[in-house]
């Protein structure tokens, strides 16, 4: 198909006010705030605009600016969002259309500036966490990879992971890796005297299934995490 021949074909409908499909083809603009209702110069001319089952559709249309064609678009799938492709035939007109669309986009408020030399309390905590709980700029971990330690872990991960009063036990663990700057999750551990059930045991219902901290389901190895408050030297 030749684009200039398509542009000459009669369309089944035209659209200027509801051109939300076009936003993906203008990545340079803040599409979320674009006021299509005030558009008078950009137009889509549809040749195909079908919806098969109320959800999946197919659209084929050309895009014009001040009666000058500059792009052909194909949209298809669920909400016409599974497949999207454009064919730009006139970059100069595209740029003119882009400059026009920018005038329809409200100005975006710039981020608030703060004094880099002032103490900012909001930097200390967010999303329920204190920054100091997850980052220590001067770490000094007590243990290293390969050490055998005693670790305080949940007795039952399935039951106690989200409990407000979990039951904890001490068990031997091997340090698999160390994240020194994280004071809460400093160590990744493998429990040496406990394991989770294998898939076969779970299927047979031989004992209650533990669903978390599985490193190797076939071997049933159990992981844990810890820090210098929840680990101690093996006796």
For every residue of 14-41, DSSP letters joined together read EESS--GGGGGG-TTS-GGG--GGG--S
Mean pLDDT value across the chain: 82
Q: Over the stretch 80-90, which tens digit does the pLDDT of each residue have?
A: 888 889 999 99
The helix or strand, by DSSP H or E, that contains position 80, with its residue range, turns out to be none
Global confidence as pTM: 0.49
What is the structure's pLDDT at 213?
38
Backbone CA torsion sign across 51, 52, 54, 56 = negative
Burial 158-168 (b: 16+ CB within 10 A, else e): eeeeeeeeeee
Which DSSP string corresponds to 134-178?
Answer: H--SS---S--TT-EEEEEEES-HHHHTT-SS--EEEEEEEEEEE
């Amino acid at each position: 198909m030749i684009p200039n021949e398509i542009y000459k074909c009669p369309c089944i409908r035209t659209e200027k006010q509801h051109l939300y499909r076009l936003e993906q083809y203008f990545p340079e603009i803040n599409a979320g705030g674009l006021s299509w209702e005030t558009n008078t110069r950009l137009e889509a001319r549809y040749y195909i605009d079908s919806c098969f089952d109320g959800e999946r559709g197919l659209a084929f249309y050309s895009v014009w600016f001040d009666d000058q064609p500059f792009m052909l678009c194909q949209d298809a799938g669920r909400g016409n969002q599974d497949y999207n492709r454009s064919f730009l035939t006139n970059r100069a007109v595209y740029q003119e259309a882009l400059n026009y669309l920018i005038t329809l986009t409200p100005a975006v408020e710039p981020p608030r500036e703060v004094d880099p030399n002032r103490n900012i309390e909001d930097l200390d905590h967010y999303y329920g966490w204190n920054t100091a709980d997850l980052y220590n700029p001067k770490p000094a971990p007590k243990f290293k990879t390969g050490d055998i330690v005693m670790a305080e872990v949940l007795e039952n991960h399935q039951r106690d992971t989200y409990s407000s009063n979990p039951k904890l036990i001490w068990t031997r663990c091997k340090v698999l890796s160390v994240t020194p700057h994280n004071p809460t999750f400093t160590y990744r551990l493998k429990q040496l005297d406990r394991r989770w059930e294998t898939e076969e045991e779970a299927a047979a219902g031989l004992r209650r299934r533990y669903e978390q901290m599985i490193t190797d389901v076939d071997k049933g190895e159990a992981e844990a995490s810890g820090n210098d408050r929840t680990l101690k030297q093996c006796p």
